[in-house]
Structure formats: C-alpha cells, structure tokens
Amino acid sequence: MSKRFALPAALAALLLGGGCEKHELPVCDITQRACQVDIYYRMLSLRGDGYDPFGGLPPVSVITEDQFRDRLIGESQQGSQNGSSPWNKALDLLHFTSTGSSGDAGAGGSTIDDQVAHTLAFYEPDKKAITIIAHPDQTGATAEEEGMITLAHELVHAIQDRELDLNKEDFKTSDEYYAYDTIIEGDARFYEYMFAREVPGYFNATLSQVLALPQRELDSIYTDFAGTSTPLFLAQLLVYPLGANYEAMEYGAGGNAAVRHGYSKEPHHMVGFLGDGKGHFPTVTPDESCPGVYAESLPMTQGSAVADEFGAHMFYAFLRGWNVDHATAYAAAQAWTGDYILAQSSTDLSTTAVSWRLQFSAAPPGSLAKTLAASGALSATAGPRSLQITATDSPTALSWKPYTNCP
C-alpha cells in the first residue's frame, strides 16, 4: 500500500487505446483537488458504493520530490539503526536478493532516486491518508493519465480501510501476510483496470477484456522473469495480478457484490491464488509444517535463529531464481502444502545457515533437486512428498541435525 509496482511495460502498452469512444471523465492533474474529487467519485461508482464514506474525499496531501526523498532517506537510516538479522544473509544465500538485504534502500542513492522518480502516490493505513508526489518535470504523453490511474488505485485502499484493517500486523507467517496483501492489492489492481476504461483514449476495452487482463499480466511477468531484478521482487510484484485475477473471477461471477463477499472467503495461503488460467484455483488443505534440519554448531537462541513459512508463491519465485522453467516451477508451487524455513547465525553474524523444508500434495519433479544442487551453492534432497534445502556461507562443512521426525 505504501509501494505500488507499475504494470510491466509490454502489458501497459496493451492498455493504450486510440478509439473514439466518448468519455465523461476529463484528463486532469492529480495534484489539483478538483481532479482528486472527480477520480474519487468515479471510483465509488465503479465499485458500486451506495454512499460516500468520507463525505467528499479521503485526506490527501501533495509533497515535492525533495520532501519525498528526505523521507525515504530518514526511513533508510532508521532501518540501518535497527541492525541486521539472520534473514538478511539467509535471503541472499537462497538467491532471493542480490545484496543479502531485502529492503535496504540506503545501499545506494540510486535506489532512493528510483523510488522518487517512479512513485506517484501512496496510501498510509496508519495515517488513513493518501500522499501524492508532484512531478512537474514528468511530461510524457500519458503522464497525467498514469497519475489518475495511480490515484484511483490508492483511493481504493482508502475505501477498503473503512471495511478492512489495512494496518493489520499480527500475521504469524510471511505466507499469511502475502495472502492478506494479495486480496487488498488485487482488489485495488482490478478496479484500477476498471478505472482505466474511464480515462479518455487510454484503454478502450470491453468488460470481458478487462476481466482477462490479470491473467495477461501474469503471463507477461512469467515470460519476462529476466526483466525482474530479484526473485524477492518477483514475489512482491506477483501479489498484484494474482489478487486481481482472483477478484476478476469473483466479479465475473457476481459483480461488485461478489468481490465484497470474497473478502470473507479469501485464501489464507498463497497457494490458493495460483490458478490454472481458466478460473480454477487450488483447494489445498495445508499440512502442519515440519522443521526439518538445523545446523548443530550454530545457536538456536532468540535473535540468532528465526523461522517462518514462506508459502507457495515465494517458492515459485525461488525456483525461477535458480533457472527452473515456469511450467515446472508453477506446477511444483501449486502442489505446495506447507513449508518451514529456519535461518541461524553465529553471535557476530559472520556465519549463517538456512534450512528450508517444503511439503507437497504429490511428489515434486525429480529434476528439481538436481537443478538446485547443480551450482554447488546449496544442497537439495527430495523425499516422497518433500524437498529439503540447505545453504550456508560457513567456510567449513556444517553438521545438519534432524530437528524432528518429519514424514
């Protein structure tokens, strides 16, 4: 919600239309209040809301690029003060990140500059407010239209926050967090598509074409995996179209009411969003996660050892990062029934080990373990319905000990 990933360039090009259909919504500058109001009421209409929950407009403020940059620098510095954890290196060992840190915006000024240049607006649940970044020098052919569509997306979050708790933080696992976020971001992405039809000359399409767009976006991302920066970014990017695809199926079955009802029955695990492209989604009952193995020589104390359940879409992104093709990686992720990932570090964080055990409804392809182990950077062992992955930066071999008896 505070970050919004843009549509892939290839798909964004598909949205640009040259039709002559007449629209009532004028193209406008989102830094102006009249424009904000027009977009807000159009979104209320698209979502079928029968009342105005804000009495005019949610709280909206406009800041400059320099103000946004100062804010990002401050957040980066605060993050650095919070110190490191076993996760930083563990993510790097599994090739989820390229630097060993999943979100270190202070690693280089270019990262912050990219955020400043490409962020048009964001919604903050803790403040219940939308912030727009003014970009006076961005004068591309569709700059105002893209700003309108972005603001429409963030306005959906403001409206959602009257029905859901977008400030929710009591998630037990990353998988649970991503599943919740997928419904929230998918809802906003879907109505972002619907709103794009209202922008003159930007996206002339039938409703059936709009309902098919999330799958087209997914196909574009799957095909252009090399265009994403890291597997972790891929996992974050997929949240939007996976959720939009789920919501598009709901909308096609029962309109706006079905989307709202979907809030109460959304999947609580990411595997439930991995559809077959034809409107069918897995109905997997997850197994109780089994811890697998741990590095006997490294501490298991608080702060030195951390555990999580990453979920199916993170597993998919991981496999793509190790050169597993889309079809094989996606099928394996669809069969996910649980996972347990454990990261351990020495007290001085000089040595890290990570153990990731995954469970499946059917035996994973035999080629997976061979592909993963081929580089020599990690170890992978396949069981009848499981896959045990280990990796470490220890200069000497570690002894891996069974944590418990796993099936």
pLDDT, average across residues 231-242: 94
pLDDT of residue 104: 40
What value, to the nearest 5°, has the Cα angle with vertex 313 and ends 15 and 329?
95
State how far the Cα of 318 lies from the Cα of 225, in Å rounded to an integer.
12
* Cα 190 to chain centroid, rounded: 15
**pLDDT band (50, 70, 90) for residue 106:** very low
pLDDT band at 245 (very low <50, low <70, confident <90, very high): very high
| Average confidence score pLDDT of the chain | 86
The residues pairing with 344 across neighbouring beta strands, listed in sequence order, are 305, 353
pLDDT score at 278: 75
Overall fold of domain 293-402: Heat Shock Protein 90 (3.30.565)
Q: What is d(CA 181, CA 167) in angstroms, rounded to the nearest whole number?
A: 11
| pLDDT band per the 50, 70, 90 thresholds, residue 16 | very low
Distance separating alpha carbons of residues 337 and 360, to the nearest angstrom? 5
pLDDT band of 367, cuts 50, 70, 90: confident
**Confidence check: pLDDT of 5 > 60:** no
Please, which residues have CB within 8 angstroms of residue 10's CB and are 6 or more apart in sequence?
A: 220, 224
Q: Are strands 386-392 and 379-382 parallel, antiparallel or unpaired?
A: antiparallel
CA 152 to CA 123: how far, in whole Å? Answer: 11
- Tell me, rounded to whole angstroms, the distance of Cα 392 from its chain centroid: 27
Higher-pLDDT residue of 12 and 139 is: 139
pLDDT in tens, 124-142: 999 999 999 999 887 777 8
- Would you say 325 and 346 are in contact if contact means Cβ atoms under 8 Å apart? no
Give residue 193's pLDDT: 95
Q: How confident is the model at residue 81 (pLDDT cuts 50, 70, 90)?
A: low
User: What is the pLDDT, as a whole number, of residue 353?
Assistant: 96
pLDDT at 156: 96
What's the pLDDT score for residue 90?
A: 94
Structure confidence at residue 24 as a pLDDT band (50, 70, 90): low
pLDDT of residue 138: 77
Query: How far lies 283's CA from each of 173, 267, 317, 336, in Å?
Result: 19, 9, 21, 11
- Specify the 3-state DSSP secondary structure of 50: coil
CA distance 52 to 42: 11
> Tokens 């697998």 sit at which residue?
292
- What's residue 82's pLDDT? 62
Label residue 80 by pLDDT band (50, 70, 90).
Answer: low
What is the spatial distance between Cα 306 and Cα 338, in angstroms, rounded to a whole number? 17
Given a cut of 80, whether residue 123 has pLDDT beyond it is: yes
Amino acid making up residue 114: D
Check residues 85 and 240 and name the one with the higher pLDDT. Answer: 240
Decide if pLDDT at 177 tops 60: yes
Cα–Cα dist 340/288, whole Å: 9
Tokens found for residue 109: 């000024």
| Helix H or strand E encompassing 400 | strand 400-402
Instruction: Please name the helix (run of DSSP H) or strand (run of DSSP E) that holds residue 342, with its range, or none.
Output: strand 336-345
In this prediction, what percent of the chain has a pLDDT beyond 90?
A: 60
pLDDT in tens, 257-316: 988 877 778 889 999 999 887 777 877 777 777 788 999 999 999 889 999 999 999 999
The pLDDT of residue 247 is: 94
**Helices marked H in 94-206 — which ranges?**
109-118, 143-160, 174-196
Pairing of β 386-392 and β 352-360: antiparallel
Helices 231-262 and 174-196 pack at an angle, to 10 degrees, of 70
User: In 3D, which of 146, 148, 110 has the Cα closest to residue 15?
Assistant: 146
At residue 219, the pLDDT reads 94
Evaluate if residue 238 carries a pLDDT over 50: yes
**Which one has a higher pLDDT value, 56 or 186?**
186
The pLDDT of residue 220 is above 90: yes
Q: Are 97 and 230 in contact (CB under 8 A)?
A: yes
The two three-digit tokens of residue 349, written as one number: 């964080």
Domain boundaries, the chain: 9-273, 293-402
Most confident of 193-202, 239-248, 257-266: 239-248
